[in-house]
Chain A
Amino acid sequence: MRLTPLLASLLVAATCTATTALALDLGAAAPAFSLPGLRPQDSKTTINLADFRGKVVYVDFWASWCGPCQVSFPLLSELRNRLVKDGKPFELIAIDVDKKPADGLDFLSEHPVQYVVVSDPAGATPAKFEVKGMPTAFLLDGNGTIRLIHQGFKSNDIKLIEAEVQKLLSEK
């Protein structure tokens, strides 16, 4: 009977281990979303992912309290602006998951960007995308298929992201 407490403890431990859903796989269709803009210039209308069909889209989940996002914003902004200026069918949608949208706006005042920024304080969209860490980005091709999932961000990562974006742009 000595093993009984041990087995029971294991049972407790196993039960406490929360089941975590697997992240969306590459090749899966990106879940649709329709979200309000965060800044005054974004909030005239809701932003639908479906409206960007035909473009390579980088969907970036971020928050004001996310340290690596401070690194990613200027680099992603430079990449996005350069590609758009060159007339490439590319867009970046940043989804702010801050509970208080004002926190996201404070962040944007320090790290201004020209791309679309939407707000999802309820967290429904990151749940649909099964986001595992902040930041997480999903690179979608023109059909809305997930082609790259990028978790975290270091300054060197922008090279890999640009290479993948250019690859998708050349497929078109």
Chain B
Amino acid sequence: MITRATKTLLALLALLAAAALLSACTPVAAWERGTLAKPEMALTPDPLDAALHDHVYFSKEASSGGNSASGGGCGCN
């Protein structure tokens, strides 16, 4: 029978092991970002199109904020 304390300890040990393994995380150096800089790597391939979609979205949802397009959510701008 595994007690709750043992489970917690095992979970902690697993996390510690994960932490140790993740210690190799490293940022991409500034001079190695050639591939990331390619247009096809952009999150929004067409910024204007994305802004229009955002605008329609917040107008329909009567919400604002969190997106790049401006407006108050009234759908009138």
Contact = CB atoms under 8 A, between A and B. Distances in A.
Interface in A116-155: 123, 126-127, 131-134, 136
Interface stretch (A7-15, A52-60, A74-82, A164-172): A7-15
A123 to B, nearest CB: 5
Interface residues of B, number: 22
Interface in A1-28: 1, 4-5, 8-9, 11-12, 15-18, 20
Secondary structure class of chain A's binding surface, majority of residues: loop
B30 A16 contact: no
B77 interface: no
Given A1-B8, A12-B22, A134 B27 contact: no
Contact of B31 (A1, A12, A126): A126
A17 B26 CA distance: 8
B30 A131 contact: yes
Contact of B19 (A12, A98, A103, A127): A12
Interface of A: 1, 4-5, 8-9, 11-12, 15-18, 20, 61, 63-66, 97-99, 103, 123, 126-127, 131-134, 136
26 contacts: A1-B8, A4-B12, A5-B15, A8-B16, A8-B19, A11-B15, A12-B15, A15-B22, A15-B23, A15-B25, A16-B23, A16-B25, A17-B25, A18-B25, A18-B26, A63-B31, A63-B37, A65-B38, A66-B37, A98-B34, A99-B32, A99-B34, A123-B31, A127-B31, A131-B29, A133-B30
